[in-house]
Structure formats: structure tokens, C-alpha cells
Structure 1
């Protein structure tokens, strides 16, 4: 796990997720259950594990295989969530996906966009990846605001993409490639240089997502 850095910007930091985070992680998940349930990935076969320690071990194993980077998210040094870089592919694709969650009391302090920017810059400039993707449910307004702030481009609607809160859910897909942010996602955002409207979802895409998918 020594290859996973600790990165800090102001009050917000991301660091390696460790087994000793089990208690804080379990407490955060229980305390914020109603806040997080609507965005929580579930198993379509009906069984979902709540083994927090086992989940951390699995993420660490994935990281040792070079397939992911699990971060704990902190605000003022306090554990407030997770950010996982997953599906890392090197070579001709050079890409990965970012997923995240934060506690309700951490919302509204720019925790998530700062954490996402730090992680994306690490993936671009240290890991040498070329493309980073984030997929968000159309109903998840706070997360849509994150990609809008950071200027992740809208790339399309993925129908019934991930099983969340008991059903297959549509997701909007957003991405950035390294060439778009030569001096970093964090710096571009902090300096107010995100192109206007780059992270916005087109009206026709919103209308399409509102249509009921035939079962």
C-alpha cells in the first residue's frame, strides 16, 4: 500500500484506505444509512455483504494487483468517506473509473470535488493514465454538480448500467483525458479556468433519461 499517496488540499485530504479504518468506516455507513442508501450499489441476486473489514481487504488486494487505488477521504483530518479508483487498464486504453461517497455532514464543503481532482491528477501525472471516467445517476444532483465544477465532459447515457438500491439504474457518463488538463484538474478548477458548460448534461439527454426504459 506504500504506492498509494496521501494528498492534501486545504482542509481536504485523501490517503490510503487501511484496515484500521474499519471502525470509522462502519460508523460512517451506519450513521449515514438513509443518506447513502439511494446511491448504494446492490447485488441483483439479492445478497449484499456488510463485511466492512472484508471489503477493505478486497480493495487492498485489488490495489496490489494494480487494478485500483482505494482512498479514505478526510475533512480536517477526520474520516468522512471513500474514493475508489477502479478498473485501471494500462497500455492502449490507459483508463480508470472513479467512484466516491461522503458523509452528509461533509457535504457542502467542496470535499468531493477536491478529492476527485486530487485523485484524477494522481492518475494522470503519477500513474500515467490517459482517461478518467465518472458515471452518475441522473437523479444525483450533488454528484452532477461535482463533474460540472471540475469540467468532466458529458459523453452519454448508459441505460440500466449499475444495480443500485435494488434496481438497475441509468447513469450519465462523464470523462476527462489528460490532454485537456495539462497542468491538472485541481489547478484548473481553483484558478477558474474550467470551460463554461463543459460539465453540463444536454437538455435532450435529460429528456431521454426521463423516459421509462421498457421492461
Structure 2
């Protein structure tokens, strides 16, 4: 089991051929807010309702404090996803609700700016998260939930090796409505990470 002091170190950076992942910092706000705003219509159907000040500096600062608290407490790790070629912010991926003890499990969630969708960048990011979760954090299981008609997310999880396990009825409140979600999972001994990305 990973000891708690790991989470008091600076958040790690994960590097691949097409994307790299690092923890968000305050200087990312302007680029993050611009990407989220231009992608609003693309993202809103799949996310919790946006607050009136969703993209403000103060809301972003609060978000970073929450990320840091989760990381320090060993309950979550949040990354921004960047295009390795240009260094541009493309999206985000988070490991949350990390449970230790007999579970050794975490949930992953992600978002991608509309202009970067369909280019395989989030699949590359998930493929970086998998060895980080199982080898560095020594977890046993990763879970992800997605709305059944979110074909992009379903395809992403299946390409990454996740297996569908069932339907979670009225699971999360998304865009103002309680929505069913498909539960997908990947366990350590069944994973197969294609050698398309390298971890660093």
C-alpha cells in the first residue's frame, strides 16, 4: 500500500508521445477558461450544471485548493492534459474517490476541449493514467461511469480496456437532471496497456 507522505510531494507529471499531464496551476486559468468557454455547448450535456461564476478566477482558485486538498489527503489526483507538440491545454483528467483498505480503487473522469475531440488525445491520457494508478499508486481497480448515449466516452473506455459491468440508475445529476450511467472498470491483473505512450 502507498503511504500517505507520497501525496504531500508535488503532483507528478506524466509524459507521452502525443500528450503530457501535469497538475493545474493558477497561471493556467486564462487558457482553461477560454477553452471551456469555447467548448461550452460541447461539454454542458455531459457535466454537472455550471455555476454562474464557473470560469472566474476565484472559482478556479477554489478548484485548485480542492485539488490540492484531495491530493494531500490521498483521495484524488487531478491533471490537465496538454498537446505534447504545441504545449496547448486540451482537457483534463481526474482520479477521484481513491479508496484504500480492502478496496484499493479510484474513479476517473475527464473532459476535452471541442477542438481537440476525436484526435485520440484523451485515449492517450487514459493510457498514461493506467500505469500511474496501478504501479505508482498501487491501486487494484479503476472505475469510470458515463451516460449510455455518450458514444465518444463509451468508445474511449472500451479502447482503453475497460469492461462494462452494469447500469447505475439515476446515478449523477448532469446538466440539471439525474441520469443513468454505465459503469466501466479495469482491474490490475487484466489490464493491457498498448505501447503507444510512455510514462515519465
TM-score by length of 2: 0.86
User: Does the CA-based 8 Å contact 1:42-1:48 persist in structure 2?
Assistant: no
Name the CA shift for 1:141/1:70 in 2 (closer, same or farther; >3 Å).
same
Q: Which moved more, 1:124-133 or 1:57-66?
A: 57-66
Q: Structure 2: which 5+ runs fail to align?
A: 1-7
1:52: which partner in 2?
60
Runs of 4+ off more than 4 Å: none
Please report the RMSD computed on the Cα atoms of aligned residues, expressed in angstroms: 1.8
1:172: which partner in 2?
182
Q: How far, CA to CA, are the matches of 2:69 and 2:32 in structure 1?
A: 18
- 1:16-55 maps to which residues of 2 (within 5 A)? 16-42=23-49, 50=54, 51-55=59-63
What are the superposed Cα offsets for residues 58-108 of structure 1, whole Å, 9 maximum, x if unpaired? 112111111100100011311111101000011210000000001011112
What are the superposed Cα offsets for residues 176-210 of structure 1, whole Å, 9 maximum, x if unpaired? 110112xx5343xx49xxxxxxxxxxxxxxxxxxx
* The one of 4, 13, 20 aligned to 1:6: 13
Name the CA shift for 1:116/1:90 in 2 (closer, same or farther; >3 Å).
same
Instruction: Find out whether 1:65 has 2:73 as its counterpart.
Output: yes
Aligned length: 184
Q: Which moved more, 1:99-108 or 1:13-22?
A: 13-22
Q: Structure 1: which 5+ runs fail to align?
A: 192-215
Secondary structure of the residue aligned to 2:133 is: helix
Name the CA shift for 1:18/1:153 in 2 (closer, same or farther; >3 Å).
same
Q: Which moved more, 1:13-22 or 1:114-123?
A: 13-22
Q: How far, CA to CA, are the matches of 1:149 and 1:163 in structure 2?
A: 26
Q: How far, CA to CA, are the matches of 1:3 and 1:60 in structure 2?
A: 10
How far has the Cα of 1:173 moved from its partner?
0.4
Bigger radius of gyration: 1
How far has the Cα of 1:151 moved from its partner?
1.5
Kindly indicate whether structure 1 or structure 2 has the higher relative contact order, using CA contacts under 8 Å at least 6 residues apart.
Answer: 2
TM-score by length of 1: 0.80
